[in-house]
């Protein structure tokens, strides 16, 4: 058995279905556990000690919404999904924490090959930090 627990990093774009299906196929082949994570990076720079109550509520709503979308993806995966996680803040920090907590052995993420993604890519940041193997799936 090559990997025991696979975590898919999901941005909730249209490509998420492709990523989840690919990871589900891998998990089935390896008889591995499969989990999904979404990190909301948009609010990262707004983080301060004092969070405005409305912002906090908005974040809460977004987290609920993201959790629902993850569960929907999990239902369509055709393979049992162990955990669906939603977090916010620094992508690499959050994913490394999840790797620790869930004993993840492989992280799966997408990578767009357009101009901006080549320069600013969350996936590329993660490469420098992840303690476990990382499967990058090229997306259009």
- Smallest gap from residue 117 Cβ to its own copies (A): 8
Distance CA 135, CA 140 (A): 16
Closer residue to its own copies in complex, CB, 60/124: 124
Q: What angle do CA 45, 125, 43 make, to 5 degrees?
A: 20
- Smallest gap from residue 51 Cβ to its own copies (A): 32
Residues at the contact surface with its own copies, assessed by CB under 8 A? 1-2, 22, 25-26, 29-30, 111, 113, 118, 123-124, 127-138
Closer residue to its own copies in complex, CB, 8/86: 8
Closer residue to its own copies in complex, CB, 30/63: 30
- Smallest gap from residue 2 Cβ to its own copies (A): 5
Distance CA 64, CA 90 (A): 19
Which segments of the chain does DSSP mark as H helices, in order?
16-30, 53-76, 91-102, 115-119, 122-127
Closer residue to its own copies in complex, CB, 63/136: 136
Do residues 20 and 10 touch, judged by C-beta distance below 8 A?
Answer: yes
- Smallest gap from residue 81 Cβ to its own copies (A): 17
Distance CA 17, CA 24 (A): 10
């Amino acid at each position: 058995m090559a990997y025991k627990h696979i975590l898919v990093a999901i941005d909730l774009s249209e490509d998420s279905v492709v990523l989840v299906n690919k990871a589900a196929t891998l998990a089935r082949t390896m008889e591995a556990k499969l989990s999904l994570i979404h990190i909301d990076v948009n609010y990262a720079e707004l983080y301060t000690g004092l969070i405005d109550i409305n912002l906090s509520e908005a974040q809460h709503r977004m987290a609920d919404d993201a959790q629902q979308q993850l569960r929907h993806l999990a239902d369509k995966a055709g393979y049992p999904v162990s955990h669906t996680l939603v977090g916010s803040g620094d992508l690499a920090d959050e994913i490394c924490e999840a790797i620790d907590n869930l004993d993840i052995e492989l992280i799966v993420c997408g990578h767009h090959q357009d101009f901006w993604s080549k320069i600013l890519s969350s996936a590329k940041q993660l490469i420098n930090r992840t303690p476990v193997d990382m499967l990058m799936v090229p997306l259009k």
